[in-house]
Amino acid sequence: MSKNVFIAVDLGAGSGRLIAAKTDFSTVELEEIHRFDNPGTDLPDGSYWNLIGLYREILEGLRIAVDRYGDRIVSIGLDTWGCDFGLLDGKGQLLGMPHQYRDARHEGMPEAMHEILPELEVFAHTGVRTNFYNTSLHLLAELKKGSPSLLHAEKLLFVPDLLAYWLTGRQAVERTVASTSQLLDPRSGDWAWGVIEALGLPSQIFGEIVAPGTVLGPIRDEVAKHIGMAGIPVVATACHDTAAAVAGIPMGAEDNLWLSSGTWSIMGIETRESYTGPDAYGIGFCNELGVDGTVRFLKNIAGLWLIQECKRQWSLDGENLDYAALAELAKEAEPFTAFIDPDDPIFASPGDMPNKIAAWCAKSGQ
């Protein structure tokens, strides 16, 4: 019997891929059908994601999937990193490419926010600590500089929501990715309206929130013509990549820990309640929402970002090293010749990471 096929679009901050999950509902076989880089782009006014390029790669992957599996395809789901967003005008047109969450516009914004709302108060309302990548800070930066995009915006969509909108024509925000923004109440699952109002953000841009598992609708006719098949439903899965990863872990007991490693390494537990008091804040954890009413109580840890940026810089310098080659070089290198603090703010933004590391070592006397 032919197996049903579900197409997963999985975008990370360094690369993207489309996976075909073939199943008879007793076993699942995964096949990677398309992979591509997601390097981002530095422009004079900041760091951006090439979202149109990513969308083109998604369409190419879907075309391959249709050629390979045809009407066995049941649905399409997407997940991406959190926090980053696009703004739409009243006609549904994108008002500029989305900035990367590491873009320098966040500088000075934590202090500006906490002049309005103390950090513990923000944490009590949202369950999320103030970090440079928060959506709240990037929107506040746009507000303070009088951004025309924000002035004319009618809707905010996070990256997976925006891609789903282009596939289906429906504008909706999926709850797990919204919970990364520092603008969602983890208890109600609705926007943290008190925080939004206090910061002076335009309330009309915060629209419909849907639960993971919501069917957004079939692909648009134009998409169907491009990929060669009509009527495929697009599902708002757990659209934040960590929420999607944790949903697939057979956690069992609530005191079991999980660790998800990528650009970030994220460690936490899956629970049924949020922890938004000073004790939770004091240990550096935050609350993001998962599937089926769960809360991911977690801590963000420096992951593969430094390696990804080094690899990108070496490629620009003409050394195209894959991760297997880098692992072999690391094995051969003398260990512990220098130490760095990967959480130092100097490493947060894109750039020439090998030189940043060398400069940090020199500054610290190594």
241 has catalytic annotation: yes
Assigned token pair, 294: 């769960």
Give per-residue burial for 246-266: e unless 16+ CB within 10 Å, then b. bbeeebeeeeeebebebbbeb
Q: How many CA atoms lie within 13 A of 307 on its CB side?
A: 17
Q: How far apart are CA 9 and CA 110, in angstroms?
A: 33
Q: Among 79, 89, 241, 341, which one carries the catalytic annotation? A: 241
Total Cβ atoms within 10 A of residue 156? 25
Q: 72: which residues sit within 8 A by CB, 6+ positions away?
A: 2, 3, 4, 5
DSSP structure string for 79-95: EB-SS-EEEE-TTS-B-
Give me the helix-helix angle, 353-363 and 305-316, nearest 10°: 120
In single-letter form, the type of residue at position 288 comes to E
Read off φ and ψ for residue 288, nearest 5 degrees: -125, 150
Please state, in angstroms and rounded to a whole number, the distance separating the CA atoms of residues 40 and 49.
5
User: Three-state SS for 236?
Assistant: strand
What span, in angstroms and rounded, lies between the C-alpha atoms of 163 and 232?
A: 15
Residue indicated by tokens 């420096």: 302
C-alpha to C-alpha distance for 175 and 161, rounded to whole angstroms: 10
Q: Give whole-number Cα distances, 324 to 68, 309, 328, in Å.
A: 29, 16, 6
Residues annotated as catalytic are 241
